[in-house]
Amino acid sequence: MKEKGYTSVDEFRGKLKPWSKEGAAISRNARKKAGGGGKKSGDSGKGGGGDFDKIIIALLVALLAALLAEKYDIVSL
């Protein structure tokens, strides 16, 4: 509220516009320009999370390989 210059909830009550596809696109573009991105936290998409995803997949594959090797007694230490 303070960032937008409001001092009370009553000052902006009733100013909410109904949802529209065009309005959502404008809002998304404004967030991207501000550096906030268009995704909410936790969303996986094309926006920069690829390296992290690859690391997680590699770790899961390594874990799966270790568990299978142990189950079938392939590893000899």
pLDDT number for residue 50: 78
- Cα–Cα distance for residue pair 41/69, rounded to 1 Å: 36
- Cα–Cα distance for residue pair 76/73, rounded to 1 Å: 7
**pLDDT tens readout for residues 37-75:** 545 544 545 555 678 999 999 999 999 999 999 888 886
Q: Among 13-17, 19-23, 57-61, which stretch is predicted with the lowest mean pLDDT?
A: 13-17
Residue spans of the domains in the chain: they are: 1-38, 43-77
pLDDT number for residue 40: 53
pLDDT number for residue 65: 92
pLDDT number for residue 15: 82
> Which residues 6+ apart lie within 8 Å of 52 measured at CB?
none
The answer to whether 49 and 42 are in contact (CB under 8 A) is: no
More confident site: 36 or 51: 51
